[in-house]
Amino acid sequence: MNVIEAISSRRSVKNFDPNHEIPDKDLKELIRLTKLAPSSFNIQNYRLLVVRDKELRKQIRSFAWDQPHVTDASVLFIICADLQSHEEDPSTFWSHAPQEVQDMLGPMIRSFYEGNEQLIRDEAIRSSALAGMTLMLSAKGLGYDSCPMVGFDADKVSKLINLPQNYILSFMVPVGKQTKTGWERGERLPDEKVVAYDRF
């Protein structure tokens, strides 16, 4: 399946085969592809919690309005972000680059974010959203379906999964084999409502 087909056919699926188990090779490939998502300064501040434990997922489901796709999907991804990624050694992200690039970008990373809590949080949400969309399109390309979820008590889920203090929880993505197709896609808003050119 090519990218255009994946984008066009991806739907938010809520009915999954609870007996399907995702093979390790597919799970590893899904993670590999997701990690190719872009991030500012390449700091890769998204974090993926892969939840396969059935009992844990039952507990998460109890904090997610009892939505069955939390437990019925083959795997549940919880997409998070590390608010302190910009403080890491720049060589973590730029050791592959020419020395002049490292010398320029390395010192820039920390000073760009330091003291700007809003920017740090905004960047965390942006990066985790890009990773989540990459995950969902990759899943579609591998023959799976998914559903982005914000319908859960983030505080309770965060405590349940021992979310590190410097992380934020962005959203969840169940992935698996659908048993019922998602709803028909609603009409897209007209271009004049959504698109502007040069200035608003």
Domain assignment present for residue 8? The answer is: yes
Find out whether 145 and 75 touch, Cβ atoms under 8 Å: no
Domain containing residue 148: CATH number: 3.40.109.10
pLDDT at 185: 85
Domain assignment present for residue 195? The answer is: no
Query: Which residues form the domain of 30?
Result: 3-180
pLDDT > 90? residue 105 = no
Instruction: Determine phi and psi for 146, rounding to 5 degrees.
Output: -155, 175
pLDDT at 165: 96
pLDDT digits (tens, 9 = 90+) for 165-185: 999 999 999 999 999 887 888
In sequence order, the 6+-apart residues with CB closer than 8 A to the CB of 119 are 112, 113
Backbone region of residue 79 per phi and psi (left: phi > 0; alpha: psi in -120 to 50; beta: other values): beta
pLDDT at 102: 82
pLDDT digits (tens, 9 = 90+) for 15-40: 999 999 999 999 999 999 999 999 99
Percentage of the chain lying above the pLDDT 70 cut? 100
pLDDT at 182: 78
Give dist(CA 138, CA 145) in Å, integer: 10
The tokens describing 125, both together, are: 């949400």
pLDDT digits (tens, 9 = 90+) for 55-93: 999 999 999 999 999 999 999 999 999 999 999 888 888
Domain assignment present for residue 192? The answer is: no
pLDDT > 90? residue 97 = no
pLDDT > 90? residue 199 = yes
Q: Please give the tally of structural domains in the chain.
A: 1
List, as one string, the DSSP characters of 35-90.
TTS--GGG---EEEEEE--HHHHHHHHHTTTT-THHHHSSEEEEEEEETTGGGS-T
pLDDT at 89: 87
- The chain-wide mean pLDDT, for the chain, equals 94
